Structure 1
Amino acid sequence: MAYRETEKMRQRKAQARQRIIDCTFECVAEGGFRSARITRIAGLAGVATGTIYRHFESREDLFAEVFRLATQREVNKVAEALTTTGNATIRLEAALRQFAERALRGPMMAWSLIAEPVDPKVEEERLAYRKAYADLFEQAILEGIDEGCIPDQNARQSSTCLVGAIAESLVGPLSPTQSGQASRNLKDNNDLLVGTIIRFCMQGLTGTRR
């Protein structure tokens, strides 16, 4: 008789897979992808290292999955901010603020998502993540053009510029080599940093000083 997996076994496998993902996320949030070693993940999850490879073909596949889930969470938060009441410029400012403030509250995870050197499969997810932001910003810019609060322009190109500007402006403050010092010296100045980023982005988008 052929073996048939029971519902209980399927649930156990799903639970083990979720523990592996959760523990990998925890490792990345603490020290980036470079610190997320398979042996450590297995220990935290309470499974053998071989169990990880029964759920994920490779370390790369595990990291790509964790990256995908983490970035979708951030994209969802920006999408939520874009539903703020007000015209498109107000909504875009809210979304940019959401992006920057969440990054500064979780600098290691944000660094890992934005700039940490990663394997090719994870880099593919990073490109998809940046495109997801650009798609959201493009729609808001098009709405702003229709509303008359944003000058007519190539919305796709402008949205890509917004993603690049905000990500690049956060690389320094989020870098593990600087964020520790920054957290000691500039903790009270995050509002200033976020304000500067938003002002730069919105002035570039609207052509007016804010």
Structure 2
Amino acid sequence: MAYRETEKMRRRKAETRQRILDCARHLVSEGGFRHAQVTQVASRAEVATGTIYRHFESKEQLFAEVFRAATQHEVDKVAEQLAGEGDAVERLDRALRSFANRALRGPVTAWALIAEPVDPRVEAERLVYRRAYAALFEKAIRQGVAEGSLPPQEARHSSTCLVGAIAESLVGPLSPVQSGTEVVAATDHEPLINTIVNFCLQGLTGTRR
């Protein structure tokens, strides 16, 4: 008789797979991708190491899915801010401010998503999501040019510059290795965020805010 997987078994497998993903994501939030070793994920998820490889073909696939889910959540937050009220400049201000604030409030996760050295498969996902951020910013910039709140410009180029500027400006503050400097305290976030946002918007508008 041919083996037939029951609905109960499929549901149990799906639950186990999700638990593995959730535990891996929690480990990443605690110490980055290098902290989320497969043995630690298995221990946290209360499964055997071999069970992980029955659900994921490799560690790289597991981490890529963790990265994808975590980054999509951040992309959605930026999209929410850009879909709000106000002209393009106001919406871009809110989106950039929200992105920087969320990163600085969760520095370990933000470092893992933005700059931590990772496997090529995860790095490929990082490039995909940088393009996703750029696409959102490009749409807002085009709307700003159309409504007159932004001067004429190459929206696609401006959007990629925006992504690069905000990501690079956060690398230092988020880095677990601070070259002789202190980690930015929670109460000190506002001046840094203002500097980052003002720089980005000045580049888009050509005027000092």
TM-score of the superposed pair, with normalisation by structure 1: 0.97
- Structure 2 partner of 1:162: 162
Give per-residue Cα distances to partners, 1:79-110, cap 9 Å, x unaligned. 00112210000000010011100001100000
8 Å CA contact 2:29–2:108 kept in 1: the answer is yes
Identity of aligned residues (%): 67
Deviation of the 1:181 alpha carbon: 3.1
User: 1:120-179, CA deviations, whole angstroms, 9 ceiling, x for partnerless residues?
Assistant: 000000000100000000000000000001010100000000000000000000001139
1:120 aligned onto 2:120: yes
Q: Does 1:182 align with 2:176?
A: no
Contact 1:84–1:94 (Cα < 8 Å) also in 2: no
Counterpart-to-counterpart distance in 1, 2:152 and 2:92: 16
Aligned CA-pair RMSD: 1.2
Question: Is this contact kept in 1: 2:105–2:186, CA < 8 A?
Answer: no
Letter in structure 2 aligned against 1:81: Q
Question: Counterpart amino acid of 2:192?
Answer: L
Specify every segment of 5 or more residues in structure 2 that has no aligned partner in the other structure, as ranges: none
Aligned partner of 1:31 in structure 2 is: 31
- Count, aligned residues: 208
CA–CA separation in structure 1 for the residues paired with 2:25 and 2:182: 24
In the other structure, the counterpart of 1:192 is 191
Which structure 1 residue ranges, 4+ long, deviate > 4 Å from structure 2? none
Aligned equivalent of 1:98: 98
State the distance in 1 between where 2:99 and 2:27 align. 22
Are the equivalent residues in 1 in contact too, given 2:82–2:140 (CA < 8 A)? Answer: yes
Q: Unaligned stretches of 5+ in structure 1?
A: none
CA contact (8 A) 1:67 1:125 kept: yes
Q: Which residue number corresponds to residue 40 of structure 1?
A: 40
- Aligned AA (1:129): Y
After TM superposition, give the deviation of residue 203 of structure 1 in Å: 0.2
Q: TM-score, normalised by structure 2?
A: 0.97
- CA displacement at 1:61 relative to structure 2: 0.3
Give the 3-state SS of the residue equivalent to 2:178 in structure 1: helix
Give the secondary-structure state (helix, strand or coil) at the position aligned to 1:177. Answer: coil
**Residue of structure 1 equivalent to 2:56:** 56
